[in-house]
Amino acid sequence: MASHLTLTEVETIARDRLLAAGATPAVAASVARSTRLAERDGLRSHGLLYVPIYAEHLECGKVMANAVPEVVMPRPAAVCVDASNGFAHPAIDAGWSAFVDATGTCGIAAMGIRRSYNCGILGHHAERLAEDGLVGLCFTHAPASIAPTGGRRPVIGTNPFALAVPDGQGGARLVIDQSASAIAKSEILLRSREGRQIEPGWALDAEGEPTTDADAALAGSMVPAGGQKGFGTGLMVEIFAAALTGANLSVEASPFSGKKGGPPGTGQFFIGVDPSTFGGATFGGAIDRLVEAIEGQEGARLPGQRRKDNRARIEAEGVEVDDALMARITGV
């Protein structure tokens, strides 16, 4: 059985559960908004599925319910945020205005967040920069789940990066959001919850052998996208999101699921670029030509187009949530 929910109901359910777990109203609202956006774009593995985990981590202390982000600007184009082992979302919100203002003043600026937690869909943060008229490049890392080529012990997380380009009308023209792994780990978590197998080529078991068993995959390691090139991409993200910000490395971070360990203490790193700074008035035309070169081909689509299509449909139709998940969220 399943429940049919509007996106407003999704946001309300998420907010209420987080409040019950001890989150402040501002924190609950920020994370619930992220949950709504994930469900809106059809990214179920980052939506309501995560709410029981968020609540569990608030209750066991892996996320500090009373964390207050601290924002400093050591240089005119640098914003540093200490999330104080709270959620990433309110820490990002805390530094956002200073970050966007610095980008407008300097033409390019960066914001680093340390001692934070899962930031949800990274592409949504890049898209937010595009909505502010900026080219946004974002990095976030995660607890170790990918072993280096030839190795067995995970060293880096799925470590996604995201890029968004403004459309000149308050939106994003295109959004690239991809992880260093062949698939997001949360998708394997979703398959595990639902008792379904994963696809071949997604993960290895604890012995380093290919597996289609979701539980064995969670006990093993993720397969990097493109082999050693995927690992290299993840290592780049690790350097920006962890090493530069002063966050824990992926090998030092506790898991984003379960009660084992203390706060993960992970990080994010965002770069904003005012497109008028470098190419002047030529940027918009260049993007137009680039998009046309892609969309002009039959069967081709821009990165992020599937999410856009899901967005229009789900905003109109709402979402189906199975009763087992609702019970884990509400306790009923």
- Which residues participate in catalysis according to the annotation? 45-46, 187
3 state DSSP class of 274:
coil
Pairing of strands 108-116, 266-273: antiparallel
Contacting residues for 295 by C-beta, under 8 A, at least 6 apart:
301, 302
Contact (Cβ atoms closer than 8 angstroms) between residue 156 and residue 141: yes
264/252 Cα distance (integer angstroms) = 8
**Which pairing describes strands 70-75 and 78-82: parallel, antiparallel, or unpaired?**
antiparallel
Q: How far is CA 303 from CA 7, 9, 175, 207, 307, in A?
A: 24, 29, 6, 35, 9
26: CB partners within 8 A, 6+ apart: 90
Q: Are 154 and 144 in contact (CB under 8 A)?
A: yes
Residue 255's Cα: distance from chain center in Å? 15
Q: Is the dihedral of CA 320, 326, 330, 332 positive or negative?
A: positive
